[in-house]
């Protein structure tokens, strides 16, 4: 059975008597040809079959086109040898894929372990010890006082959650105290109205943030002038933090752009905190945040996220 439209080129061997619709072209091979041999052969010429398809609404390979496909035919006895060799090599490839998946998962776990250690102060323990000996590391109360002065705040609450596991010189601080933090704007009325889109202004969505490798360099949608009027333009360098769909994904805008209220924009007060530090912190906390997102998402949307940060 060879799928001849939407999509073209998928192959299967019937394991029992059956019927198919017009989306298949079916071949009952003679005794001179092995079904397994034809199966692998048709897989190998998928692109050739697609190139011979025609149609406007969707492409389809006609019965005539299917019948005219060339077949490289080996002697029957050698067909079995060809099939056996393919199956053996494919089996090795499948094992290789499994091993790569295992390695990928191990690397993912190692990455999270590195991030966890970083935000428990373990990676900079020796660095911190040197400066403590020189008496040039400020205590956490001085960090909080500096934040208060830089940001013009009346007070910066000092607190330590249970089992915080951070050095005594570090502090827990509300993210909103360390820079400008606000949700994106997208008052679509009606929702997804065509006149809001198709213009020159990039419109970033949660999927674009998730797909980015630290910096958002591409986008899948744009706003028109009308779209921009009901939204907000964020400057390049803004840290985008997703709070819906893909929870706690982060990436920096590589250009000026708009985004909806499912994304929070953060611009760090750089005398206090490095933007990359915030990015990596969310990377470290992403899976913990996502684990309880269903119960906390309304709160995450309404208030400034509170997480461990240091200068």
For 63-127, give the DSSP string: HHHHHT-------HHHHHHHHHHHHHHHHHHHHHHHHHHHHHHHHHHHHHHHHHHHTTT-TTHHH
C-alpha 241/C-alpha 107 separation (Å) is: 24
| 227 pLDDT higher than 50 | yes
Query: Do 311 and 138 contact (CB within 8 A), yes or no?
Result: no
| 18 pLDDT higher than 60 | yes
- Is residue 280 classed as helix, strand or coil in its secondary structure? helix
How many of the other CB atoms lie within 10 Å of CB of 55? Answer: 11
- Closest of 190, 192, 196, 264 to residue 226, by C-alpha: 196
Residue 310 is predicted with a pLDDT of: 35
Lowest mean pLDDT among 59-68, 154-163, 195-204: 154-163
| 189 pLDDT higher than 70 | no
Average pLDDT of the chain, as a whole number: 88
Lowest mean pLDDT among 102-111, 166-175, 197-206: 166-175
| 162 pLDDT higher than 80 | no
> Is residue 299 very low, low, confident or very high in pLDDT (cuts 50, 70, 90)?
very low
Which two tokens mark 9?
């080129």
C-alpha 160/C-alpha 140 separation (Å) is: 11
Residue 140 is predicted with a pLDDT of: 81
pTM: 0.70
| 202 pLDDT higher than 50 | yes
Q: Mean pLDDT across the stretch 264-274?
A: 94
């Amino acid at each position: 059975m060879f799928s001849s439209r939407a999509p073209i080129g998928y192959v299967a061997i019937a394991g029992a008597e059956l019927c198919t619709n017009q989306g298949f072209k079916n071949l009952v091979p003679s005794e001179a040809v092995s079904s397994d041999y034809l199966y692998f052969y048709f897989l190998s010429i998928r692109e050739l079959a697609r190139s011979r398809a025609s149609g406007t609404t969707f492409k389809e390979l006609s019965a005539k086109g299917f019948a005219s496909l060339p077949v490289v035919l080996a002697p029957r006895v050698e067909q079995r040898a060809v099939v056996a060799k393919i199956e053996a090599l494919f089996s090795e490839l499948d094992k290789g894929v499994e091993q790569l998946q295992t390695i990928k998962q191990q690397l993912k776990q190692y990455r999270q372990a590195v991030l966890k250690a970083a935000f428990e102060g373990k990676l900079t323990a020796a660095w911190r010890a040197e400066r403590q000996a020189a008496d040039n590391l400020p205590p956490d109360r001085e960090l909080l006082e500096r934040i208060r002065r830089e940001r013009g705040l009346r007070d910066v609450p000092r607190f330590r959650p249970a089992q915080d596991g951070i050095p005594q010189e570090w502090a827990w601080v509300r993210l909103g105290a360390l820079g400008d933090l606000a949700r994106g704007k997208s008052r679509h009325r009606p929702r997804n109205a065509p006149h809001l889109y198709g213009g020159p202004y990039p419109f970033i969505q949660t999927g674009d943030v998730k797909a980015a490798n630290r910096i958002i360099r591409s986008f899948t949608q744009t706003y028109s002038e009308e779209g921009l009027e009901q939204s907000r333009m964020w400057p390049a360098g803004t840290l985008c933090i997703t709070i819906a769909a893909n929870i706690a994904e982060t990436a920096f805008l590589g250009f000026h752009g708009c985004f909806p209220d499912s994304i929070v924009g953060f611009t760090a007060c750089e005398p206090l905190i490095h933007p990359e530090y915030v990015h990596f912190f969310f990377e470290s906390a992403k899976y913990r945040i996502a684990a309880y997102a269903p119960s906390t998402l309304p709160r995450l949307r309404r208030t400034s996220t509170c997480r461990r940060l240091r200068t």
